[in-house]
Structure 1
Amino acid sequence: MGHKTRKIVRRIIMAGNLLVIIIMLSVGHIDRLNPVNHPMLANLGLGFPILLVLNTGFLLIWIFFRRRLIWLPILGFLLCFGPIRKYIPFNLPKEKPHGSLKILSYNVFLFAPWNIPDGEPNPIIEYIIRSKADIVCLQEAGLQELREKDVLHRLATHYQYCDTTIKPVTRTECLMLLSRYPIIKKEIIPFNSKGNMTVAYLLNVRGIEMLVVNNHLESYNLSSQDKEGFKSLIRHPLPTHSAKGESTYLLKKLGEASAKRAPEAEAVSKYVKGYLDRHIPVIVCGDFNDSPLSYVHRTMARGLTDAYISTGTGPGFSYHKSGMYVRIDHILCSSDLEPYEARVDDRVKRSDHYPIYCWLKYRPRI
């Protein structure tokens, strides 16, 4: 290859690297766009890992063929440090202090009772009990009537305070709170949704009033075929005619769901702010059905700390079915609660979600 040809090829690769960095930077801050106004763009954050892989590929190219240019992909990583940390945080281990509260959030998928032999314990229920969490927020916690009393009795032997809230009218949704601390009051945060809801609890935790908000926001409602199409696009993101049509369809469907979640998140954020303004410690957790690079997460996290981003390590995928892997379950806390050792536990696979947990230490603001 002649000198002039090599120079042209190098410039083309540099241009490609620059384009990837620009797109990566834009997608990394896509959470600033309201899905109601920009539904087709709202979920581009799901493609952020692809851009990270592409930029890493350019880094390897420059390492092997033009080391003087490795600064370019490195600059891209530095410019996108914030979004990268949100999506794939890395934190050094820090031991939780004595007296910390363990918080567990888990979408239990109706406790997945199928294929469990008669007489065998339910793995999800046993996991919750073994977790020894102080406060447990469950989503999709509906129970078959014949087993409801047995399940609630089993959980009640370990949690003195248990509350189940079923979606009014439709009765298609059920959120559950298990607590070692008394429930002072509860309230359903009002927003317009047919099948999802958010429940807020005021607890008396060792003499301190603490707000716990359990969320299950609007689902993507993807069919099995939709999920297969999503996987195909991730594996083969080539601009073919069929891929373009599939991506347009999926982005539209994802965007419609995001546009429904946005006002739900805004309603929760507004409700939480009222307690933050009164300096009441707040824990917000549950199935947000949105990634860390989303308007919903950004809105829900206003004035709060994401426990996984600040103390977890790795992508922490909490949804794992149908070949789709993304962190859509989150635990957030106010500044007077310091998080430790947040993890997504992939050992129990009965539900389509993995549980997420962390420890919180109350440190009152001076």
Structure 2
Amino acid sequence: MARLYTPWYDKLLWYLNIFFALLLAASYTAPYIKASSATLPAFMGLLFPYLAITNMLLVAFWLVRLKNRFLLSLVLLVAGYGHLSRIVQFNSRNEYPASEAIRVLSVNVKSLGLNGPEFQTRDAAKVFDFLREGVYDVYCFQEFFHTDRKDFSPLDSFLALTDTEYDHIEFPVLFRNNKFGIATFSRYPIVDQGLVEIETRGTNLCIYTDLKIGNRTVRVYNVHLESLHFSKEEMEFLTGEDDEWSLEGIEKAEGVIARMSNAFHNRAEQSDILRAHMLNCPYPMIVCGDFNATPVSHTYHTIANGMKDAFKERGKGFGFTFNGPIPMLRIDYILYSEPLQLEFFQIIDAAISDHHPQEAYFIVPERDNYN
């Protein structure tokens, strides 16, 4: 009997399928391997959404061709469902809950779009217009900005628009009468506050704020972990705007890889410190912020261990939060612990910065033998 002829492109695609399947499998190791031990898994974890989509397309291709080669990618995708569920969810859309829910907003406001030597805040109007549209009880802002200029006071605007009585603000960076940091605003009294002593760089830091809500104390962590700090030239290279291959291009690629490796390592250390702080917390917790890490990462796995992910519990659709030039990234989170009950969550489609805002509504049960 004559052997069935296999087209050359089938063979090529099959070899590519094996290659991308192996990369997908490698990405699954990222949450469990610290960057100080090996950085390659961290890079693979960052690529997880793209690898998952590639393998889905390959499954569809082999199914159309009626070949059982689709099983390789399908088995790996099923094995990685836990990771997939952190970037896409099919929960039914729930309505806004009753008024007794605690309303929480978290967003990286990117210093209000601060740009250029004149310190023009090109996104301030968009941020303030957005705040006028919603009412929340707790606001967590990363990359918060204030200036001592007489003609413009961002802090006064935030206080007026949030209509909050209490705030916890840290400004680690001061430059030409401009202040950069992180801020938590609350309608509930603050009974304690402080810094989590992670090694900070620029506006990357973590604060905690203990709020008195009813007869309970609830701790809110506001988190902004290590950023990549790409230069303009490196970002253009990364996004393909500068696609010229030359010695200079190779140097840019090396610079990008070095910055990413350093950020992976620093975030791993920061997440370990934050996790240790959380383990000593006697209260129910809400963790809001910009982790600068995907759900398939050691950073997320460390912080989210034992916590509930608001997107996973109540989100719908894709969970991508980054609104910048690199698509399909979820790097912003709202996590919480029991006995808090999540009533509503959504990622808001509002282009007020390079991050989408997130909102979550919680019921805080009355204390009953629980701090």
Q: Same fold (TM over 0.5)?
A: yes
- Residue of structure 2 aligned with 1:292, choices 292, 295, 298: 295
Q: 2:179, 2:37 → 1: CA distance?
A: 29
Q: 1:30, 1:51 → 2: CA distance?
A: 14
Q: Amino acid of the residue matched to residue 151 of structure 1? A: S
Q: 1:15, 1:241 → 2: CA distance?
A: 31
- Residue of structure 1 aligned with 2:347, choices 344, 348, 353: 344
Q: Amino acid of the residue matched to residue 161 of structure 1? A: Y
Could you tell me which residue of structure 1 aligns to residue 117 of structure 2? Answer: none
SS across alignment from 1:104:
strand
The answer (yes or no) to whether the contact 1:224–1:322 under 8 Å persists in 2 is no
Superimposed CA distance per residue, residues 309-328 of structure 1 (whole angstroms, 9 cap, x where no aligned partner): 22212333222223444121
Query: 1 or 2, which has the higher strand percentage?
Result: 2
Determine if the alignment matches structure 1 residue 204 to structure 2 residue 206: no
Q: 2:28, 2:88 → 1: CA distance?
A: 12
Shift of 1:271: 0.7
Greater mean alpha carbon deviation, residues 209-218 or residues 161-170: 161-170
Unpaired segments of 5 or more residues in structure 2? 115-119
Q: Amino acid of the residue matched to residue 293 of structure 1? A: V
Structure 1 residues 23 and 40, CA gap change in structure 2 (3 angstroms): closer
Could you tell me which residue of structure 2 aligns to residue 220 of structure 1? Answer: 228
- Residue of structure 2 aligned with 1:151, choices 152, 157, 175: 157
Could you tell me which residue of structure 2 aligns to residue 161 of structure 1? Answer: 166
Shift of 1:150: 3.4
Q: 2:199, 2:56 → 1: CA distance?
A: 42
Determine if the alignment matches structure 1 residue 301 to structure 2 residue 304: yes
Superimposed CA distance per residue, residues 276-322 of structure 1 (whole angstroms, 9 cap, x where no aligned partner): xx3x2100111111111111111111221111122212333222223
Shift of 1:225: 2.4
Could you tell me which residue of structure 1 aligns to residue 125 of structure 2? Answer: 122
Shift of 1:209: 0.4
Could you tell me which residue of structure 1 aligns to residue 359 of structure 2? Answer: 357
Superimposed CA distance per residue, residues 148-171 of structure 1 (whole angstroms, 9 cap, x where no aligned partner): 363255246x11222322127888
Q: 2:314, 2:58 → 1: CA distance?
A: 30
Structure 1 residues 318 and 7, CA gap change in structure 2 (3 angstroms): closer
The answer (yes or no) to whether the contact 1:337–1:360 under 8 Å persists in 2 is yes
Query: 1 or 2, which has the higher helix percentage?
Result: 1
Q: 1:231, 1:334 → 2: CA distance?
A: 37
Shift of 1:39: 3.0
The answer (yes or no) to whether the contact 1:289–1:329 under 8 Å persists in 2 is yes
The answer (yes or no) to whether the contact 2:219–2:285 under 8 Å persists in 1 is yes
Determine if the alignment matches structure 1 residue 133 to structure 2 residue 140: no
User: Following superposition of structure 1 onto structure 2, how do residues 1-366 of structure 1 map, counting pairs within 5 Å?
Assistant: 3-6=3-6, 13-95=13-95, 97-98=97-98, 99-112=100-113, 114=120, 122-146=125-149, 147-148=152-153, 150-155=156-161, 158-167=163-172, 173-195=180-202, 196-232=204-240, 249-275=255-281, 278=282, 280-347=283-350, 349-363=351-365
Q: Amino acid of the residue matched to residue 341 of structure 1? A: F
Q: 1:5, 1:232 → 2: CA distance?
A: 40
Greater mean alpha carbon deviation, residues 3-12 or residues 288-297: 3-12
RMSD over aligned CA atoms reads 3.2
Shift of 1:126: 3.2
Q: Identity of aligned pairs, percent?
A: 22
Shift of 1:230: 2.4
Superimposed CA distance per residue, residues 105-144 of structure 1 (whole angstroms, 9 cap, x where no aligned partner): 1111222374769xxx833123224221111101111112
User: How many residues get paired?
Assistant: 354
Structure 1 residues 273 and 96, CA gap change in structure 2 (3 angstroms): farther
SS across alignment from 2:280:
helix
Q: 1:84, 1:137 → 2: CA distance?
A: 27
Q: Amino acid of the residue matched to residue 160 of structure 1? A: E
Superimposed CA distance per residue, residues 25-82 of structure 1 (whole angstroms, 9 cap, x where no aligned partner): 2203312111122234423222112212321222222122124444343223211111
Q: Amino acid of the residue matched to residue 130 of structure 2? A: Y
SS across alignment from 1:167:
strand
Unpaired segments of 5 or more residues in structure 1? none
SS across alignment from 1:86:
coil
The answer (yes or no) to whether the contact 2:228–2:260 under 8 Å persists in 1 is yes
The answer (yes or no) to whether the contact 1:41–1:255 under 8 Å persists in 2 is no
Q: 2:344, 2:238 → 1: CA distance?
A: 32
Q: 2:190, 2:292 → 1: CA distance?
A: 27
Q: 2:309, 2:10 → 1: CA distance?
A: 41
Structure 1 residues 9 and 168, CA gap change in structure 2 (3 angstroms): closer
SS across alignment from 1:140:
strand
Shift of 1:356: 1.4
Structure 1 residues 315 and 222, CA gap change in structure 2 (3 angstroms): farther
Q: 1:180, 1:174 → 2: CA distance?
A: 21
Structure 1 residues 256 and 58, CA gap change in structure 2 (3 angstroms): same
